[in-house]
Structure formats: C-alpha cells, structure tokens
C-alpha cells in the first residue's frame, strides 16, 4: 500500500497536518493529497469501478476536509482508516445515486492495528486480503456486497436467496474475522 | 467490551449504512444514545470496515487529480468553522434530519411570534378592561353619593320636626322664592330656590341659620342659581341647633363666616 512517498505518516504527523489545514495552510492540502490520495482513490475505484468517478470522490472528500477540518479528531483515530471509510461511504452514495451530504461525517474510528509505517500498513493489507480469501465464499460475498456495493441485507438476501438472518450473521462475523486475525 | 446481543447484527449493518428497517434503525439509535459499550463496538466495527477498505488500496490517481484539487483549494476561500458538527454515531442519517433543527427553529420562531402577539393583545385587552373598571368604579361612587344624598333628603322631608318655610323677596314680581326644609336632629338642611336674580361671577347666595338663642347667624351653605334663577342645595351642619329662622345674603364666591348686609331673602310673613 502506498500512502506516502517514502514513509507512512504517524499519529503525530496526522495531528500536525490537520492543525495546518485548520490554520488555512494550503500547502498542507498538498501534503494530505500526497499521503492519502491513494487510500481514497483506491477505495473509491473499488466501489465505483470508474477512474473518473473515483477522481471525483478524491476531490470531494479532500475538499470537504479542507472546508471542515474539525470533522476529523486526531485524538480519536488515524487519518488513513478515517479517510478510507469516508471514501467508501461517498463512493457508495454515488453508486446508489443518493444525493451527497452537505458536510463530512464526524465519525470516530478506533483501531488498535498498527498503521504507523508503510511496512506495517503493507502487512495489515496483506493480512486482510488473506483473511478475505480464507472466508467461506458465501460469507465473503455477503460482506463485499454490503461493503463495496452498499447493498442492504434485504437486497443481499433477495439476490442470493439466503435467509435475512443468515445474511446479517455473515456480514457481522465477516467483519469480526478481520478484527480477530489482526488483533 | 460487552455488546448487547440483540443489537449485535444490526450494529454491523448500521456501521455500513445498510440498516434499512426504520424500526430497527430507530431502536438501535435510541439504544446507542445510552449504551457506551455498543458505541465503542460501533467504533470498532468502523475500524474493521476501514481494514476492509484498505484492502482495496493500490491504484494511484492520475497526476491531474492533484492539480485539480490544489486548484480548487486555492480558488476556494477558507471558511473557518467555529463549531463542530454534533456527534454522529452512524451513517444512515436521513437527509431530512439535517433540516429538522432548522424546521424546529422556524416552528419555535413562529410559535414565539404567535405567543408574543397573543400576549400583546392580552395586555391591550387587560389595559382596556382596567380602564373600564376604573370608570365603572367612579360611576358607582357617584351613584352611591347621589343615593346617600337622596336618602338624606327623603329622611329630612319625612322627619317629624321637618319645618317647611318659604322665603320671598321684599320686592314684587318676578317673585324670587327660596324654600328650605330643616331638621335640627339630623343637622340637615335642604334648599330649593327659584326666580332669583342672577349674580356676578364672583358672588354667591349664602344661607344663614338664625339660632333661637339669639347668638350670631351660622353659615348654612351657599349656592349659585342657574341662568333661570333656580337652584338647589343640601347642607349638613351640627345637629341639635334650634333655629328661629333663616336668611340669605349675597357673599363673595366661597362664602363668608359672617353675613354681609343687606339680607336679600328672609322668611315670609
């Protein structure tokens, strides 16, 4: 995973970067882009399967952070996972043709996973991909349909023919499987 | 972390923004508002989502994307936010919720305006009612005074010792006339005048009680007749004074303590 040129940012870097953005430093947005454009773009492209649409998500997510940097609280999480979830949600909105929100979500994300450096991040991504491969196909499919396609459990059940309860259980246990392996 | 099992699966759907049942959504949001453990589990589920999202990282955006963003940042004036958006625990937040506070504020504003108008009208009505009440009380006082005076007149006229006496002018027609009714027990006197000579502005007619014991005349009230020379007067004085007669003089406005000669009216005969 590439989230920066040579070295992945750490927690202090995130806080300093957000402080500069809050102060109106436009060069901080260049640094932000250099560090995290890959995260936002990769997630959006995975959801939308369109480079143009994924670029639009990059613009939207970063501009909204520029407009409202208070939305991210560096005391309650890291920028990389936060931006990844924000990008996924924006992409799902586009995919589902939902009107975009006027503002960016204030959404604390607590993760104990080490993302401090690029090597750690690469390790995490490899593990996640490994967990996904090892998940039962039906479970992985339900999880991906919910996460990367934004389908509700009702829609998934309708499409797969599985009972609603089964779909719910598969989605949750799929997420917990990621947490368990990476704990 | 202990998650309430009845919300465990809904919590995962909620984290992803795919919990579409309104009842489940409302129940979960109500629960989250009071359950710290489930809120922490929600944060952990988002972290799981983040890991899932990071699994898609790899492709890089084209170079033009960077220039496009920085151009947009440079072109957009920075708007400082002084307040932070309220804590949001999930994504499936209906858009109408974002306008709800505005709608509530507008409704409150309209409601306040209506209340203010009602209050203003009520105050106006209260002031009007208060003025009417004061006017009614004044009228009641006047009526009571008139009733009391009428009662005294009636009592005087029916008093066993009531002494009717007619005073006439010494001169011939038109014959000025004054009639008095006096009760020594009540110390009350009623006077009715007719055909009196009009007086200058600064003069009045004053009645004098002539005590039976021969002492000095006592002031018994004064009056000023109307344009036709008619007048009426009710006068209260000390009770028990025996009168041998009455006389009328012309005095300065406001009355005198001693009569100013000549006597213009006196008992007939």
Given an 8 Å threshold on Cβ–Cβ distance, is A89 in contact with B50? no
Task: Give counts: helices (H), strands (E), chain B.
Answer: 5, 8
CA distance, residue B110 to nearest chain A CA (Å): 26
Domains and CATH numbers, chain B: 163-267 (2.60.40)
Q: What percent of chain B has pLDDT over 70?
A: 86
pLDDT average, residue stretch A149-154: 91
Bigger pLDDT: B138 or B166? B138
Set of chain B residues whose Cβ sits within 8 Å of the Cβ of A132: 52, 55
Inter-residue contact A13 to A32 (CB < 8 Å): no
Mind listing the pLDDT tens digit for each residue in A32-49? 999 889 889 999 999 999
Contact A150 B17 (CB under 8 A): yes
Backbone angles phi, psi at B211, to 5 degrees: -60, 150
Q: Does A51 sit within 8 Å of B18, measured CB to CB?
A: no
Residues on chain A touching B11 (C-beta within 8 angstroms)? 172
Interface subset of B 173-192, CB within 8 angstroms of A: none
A146:B13 CB<8 A = yes
Closest C-alpha to B179, from B153, B155, B200: B153
Q: Does B131 contact chain A (CB < 8 Å)?
A: no
Mutant choice from B51, B76, B78, B94 vs A, greatest count of A C-beta within 10 A: B51
Burial status of residue A97 (CB atoms within 10 A of its CB: 0-12, 13-18, 19 or more): exposed
pLDDT for residue A105? 62
Q: Which of B18, B59, B69 sits opposite A152 (nearest CB)?
A: B18
* Selected residue of A114, A147, A169, A177 to mutate for chain B interface (largest B Cβ count, 10 A): A147
pLDDT digits (tens, 9 = 90+) for A13-23: 788 889 999 98
- Joined together, the tokens standing for residue A46 give 């995975």
The secondary structure of residue B91, as a DSSP letter, is S
Helix (H) or strand (E) holding B205: strand B203-211
**Average pLDDT of chain B?**
82
pLDDT-based confidence at residue B249 (cuts at 50, 70, 90): very high
Per-domain residue ranges for chain A? 1-112
Tokens of A139: 């479970």
Q: Is A30 a residue whose pLDDT tops 80? A: yes
Reported as type and span, the H/E element at residue A133 is helix A118-134
Fold of A1-112: Rna Polymerase Sigma Factor; Chain: A (1.10.1740)
Contact B130, B144 (CB under 8 A): no
From the CA of A82, how many Å to the nearest CA of chain B? Answer: 7
Is B142 near chain A, with CB under 8 Å? Answer: no
Q: Residues 144-173, chain A: which have Cβ within 8 Å of B?
A: 146-148, 150-154, 165, 168-169, 171-172
Chain A environment of B20 (Cβ under 8 Å): 152-154
Nearest one of B203, B194, B202 to B227, comparing CA atoms: B194
A36 contacts chain B (CB < 8 A): no
Yes or no: say if B184 and B240 are a contact pair by the CB < 8 Å rule: yes
Give the pLDDT score at B80.
Answer: 52
What pLDDT is recorded for position A160? 92
Chain A residue closest to B59 (CA)?
A42
Sign of CA dihedral B234, B238, B241, B246: negative
Judge whether residue A149 has pLDDT over 90: yes
- Residue pair A128/B58 in contact by the 8 Å Cβ criterion: no
pLDDT grade for A6, boundaries at 50, 70 and 90:
very low
Tokens of A183: 């704990």
B183-211 per-position pLDDT tens digit:
999 899 999 998 898 888 899 999 999 99
Q: What is the structure's pLDDT at A116?
A: 57
How does the average pLDDT of chain A come out, rounded?
83
The alpha carbon of residue B229 and the mean position of all alpha carbons in its chain are separated, in whole angstroms, by: 47
**pLDDT over 70 (residue B95):** no
**pLDDT(B221) > 80:** yes
| Cβ contact, residue pair B54, A80, below 8 Å | yes
Highest mean pLDDT among A99-108, B117-126, B226-235, B243-252: B243-252
Q: How far apart are CA A60 and CA B71, in angstroms?
A: 13
Please report the residues numbered 60 through 99 in chain A whose beta carbons come closer than 8 angstroms to any beta carbon of chain B: 62-63, 66-71, 77, 80-82, 84-85, 87-89, 92, 99
HSE-up of residue A50 (Cα within 13 Å, Cβ side): 9
Q: Does B23 touch chain A (CB under 8 A)?
A: no
Q: Which pLDDT band holds residue B96 (cuts at 50, 70, 90)?
A: low
Interface residue B207 vs chain A (CB under 8 A): no
Cα–Cα distance between B40 and A172 in angstroms, integer? Answer: 15
């Amino acid at each position: 995973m590439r989230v920066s040129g040579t070295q992945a940012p750490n927690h202090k870097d995130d806080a300093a970067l957000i402080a500069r953005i809050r102060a109106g430093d436009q060069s901080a947005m260049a640094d932000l882009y250099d560090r995290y454009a890959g995260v936002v773009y990769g997630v959006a492209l995975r959801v939308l399967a369109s480079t143009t649409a994924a670029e639009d998500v990059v613009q939207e997510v970063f501009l909204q952070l520029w407009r409202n940097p208070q939305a991210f609280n560096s005391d309650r999480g890291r920028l990389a996972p936060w931006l990844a979830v924000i990008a996924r949600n924006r992409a799902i909105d586009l995919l589902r043709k939902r009107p975009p929100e006027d503002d960016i979500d204030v959404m604390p994300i607590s993760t104990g996973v080490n993302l401090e450096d690029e090597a750690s991040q690469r390790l995490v991504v490899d593990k996640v991909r490994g967990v996904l491969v090892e998940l039962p196909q039906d479970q992985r499919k339900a999880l991906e349909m919910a996460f990367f396609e934004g389908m509700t459990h009702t829609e998934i059940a309708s499409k797969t023919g599985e009972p609603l309860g089964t779909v719910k259980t598969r989605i949750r246990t799929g997420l917990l499987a990621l947490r368990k392996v990476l704990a | 972390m202990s998650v309430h099992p009845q919300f465990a699966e809904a919590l995962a759907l909620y984290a992803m923004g795919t919990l579409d049942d309104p009842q489940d959504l409302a129940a979960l949001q109500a629960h989250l508002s009071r359950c710290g453990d489930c809120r922490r589990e929600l944060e952990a589920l988002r972290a799981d989502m983040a890991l899932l999202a990071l699994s898609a990282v790899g492709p890089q955006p084209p170079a033009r994307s960077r220039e496009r963003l920085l151009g947009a940042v440079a072109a957009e004036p920075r708007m400082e936010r002084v307040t932070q958006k309220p804590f949001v625990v999930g994504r499936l937040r209906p858009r109408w919720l974002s306008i709800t506070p505005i709608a509530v504020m507008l409704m409150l504003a309209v409601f306040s305006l209506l209340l203010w108008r009602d209050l203003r009208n009520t105050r106006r009505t209260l002031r009007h009612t208060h003025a009417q009440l004061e006017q009614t009380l004044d009228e009641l006082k006047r009526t009571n005074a008139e009733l009391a005076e009428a009662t005294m007149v009636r009592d005087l006229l029916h008093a066993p010792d009531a002494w009717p006496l007619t005073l006439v002018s010494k001169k011939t027609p038109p014959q000025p006339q004054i009639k008095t009714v006096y009760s020594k027990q009540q110390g009350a006197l009623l006077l009715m005048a007719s055909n009196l000579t009009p007086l200058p502005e600064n003069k009045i007619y004053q009645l004098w009680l002539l005590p039976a014991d021969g002492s000095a005349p006592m002031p018994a009230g004064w009056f000023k007749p109307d344009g036709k020379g008619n007048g009426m007067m009710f006068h209260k004085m000390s009770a028990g004074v025996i009168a041998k007669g009455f006389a009328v003089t012309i005095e300065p406005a406001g009355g005198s303590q001693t009569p100013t000669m000549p006597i213009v009216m006196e008992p007939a005969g």
